[in-house]
Copies of this chain bind each other. A is one copy, B any other.
């Protein structure tokens, strides 16, 4: 029996534009989110790692989410990151999302302490979910150990699914290890396994995965949608392969320099709005030479 995952599709790990004073540009951000949907994304996973969420204050994060909802984007299309280092603040951010009708969130584990036990991570997620106490909530766990420093193990995920079957419904796996995604699919049928790395979308969908939450979607959402929609259609194989190759080319260029500032600079090149190029410290904008090099290579992309 095939169990359909509850969260499926192409989600964009949306980047966040800044004003000259490094405050978030709420208007440009909402327009960017709308464009991502217009280009084919099923939803926008705003305020993730690519979105520099943890460089923003709780107040700024709430303003960004409210700005998008007020701009008219349906709450059912939004999946904000709400996991921070302190449990009460993860609870507060998630409750705030729910108050706006946003019922799906991507949730990092507490990420300050490293080497913590699965018992400790289970306790943290359990306390958060129980404190929120809202049956509408659907949580996508966030496994990105190369940034957060805190991995989510297969047994931990199984314990969370068993304890909260209607809440712990998926995972964003950004570790880039396809074997881990296959293990998740095999172990937990119906659990939404979403790739955090663009090159893995096609193999993951073919293997029964639920979709992706990726950075390159800021640039080539339509191609990701093509891959997602037609991955298992033999008649479309050539078009799908071409779309995945295009995605991979953008991804490869974005990794030439530090990825997040480069993605932002590429959105600036795509849209003609140079303010996109600026991240918030500790991330730094590309230097002028690298920016010029990037622009030349960007112009050659398919």
* Chain A interface residues (CB < 8 Å from chain B): 22, 49, 54-60, 84-89, 92, 109-114, 116-117, 119-121, 123-124, 127, 146-150, 258, 260, 280-284
Contact check, B281 vs A120: say whether CB atoms are below 8 A apart. yes
Which of chain B's residues have a CB closer than 8 A to the CB of A57? 86, 88-89, 92
Which of chain B's residues have a CB closer than 8 A to the CB of A88? 56-57, 59-60
- Name the contact of A56 in the complex, choosing from B86, B113, B127, B260 (C-beta under 8 A): B86
A60 CB to closest chain B CB (Å) equals 7
Contact check, B120 vs A54: say whether CB atoms are below 8 A apart. no
Contact check, A87 vs B119: say whether CB atoms are below 8 A apart. no
Identify which of A57, A87, A117, A282 gathers the most chain B CB atoms within 10 Å of its CB: A282
CA distance A84 to B58 in the complex (A): 12
Which of chain B's residues have a CB closer than 8 A to the CB of A124? 281-282
Contact check, A113 vs B282: say whether CB atoms are below 8 A apart. yes
Closest to A115 in B: B258
Contact check, B112 vs A111: say whether CB atoms are below 8 A apart. yes
A116 CB to closest chain B CB (Å) equals 4
A172 CB to closest chain B CB (Å) equals 16
- Name the contact of A281 in the complex, choosing from B89, B123, B283 (C-beta under 8 A): B123
Contact check, B60 vs A110: say whether CB atoms are below 8 A apart. no
A114-B146, A114-B149 known; 18 new pairs, CB 8 Å cut-off, are A22-B127, A54-B110, A54-B112, A55-B86, A55-B112, A55-B113, A57-B88, A57-B89, A58-B89, A60-B86, A60-B88, A112-B148, A113-B147, A113-B260, A116-B283, A116-B284, A119-B284, A121-B282
Contact check, A113 vs B283: say whether CB atoms are below 8 A apart. yes
Which of chain B's residues have a CB closer than 8 A to the CB of A150? 282
Contact check, B109 vs A282: say whether CB atoms are below 8 A apart. yes
Contact check, B85 vs A120: say whether CB atoms are below 8 A apart. no
CA distance A59 to B117 in the complex (A): 27
Contact check, B56 vs A120: say whether CB atoms are below 8 A apart. no
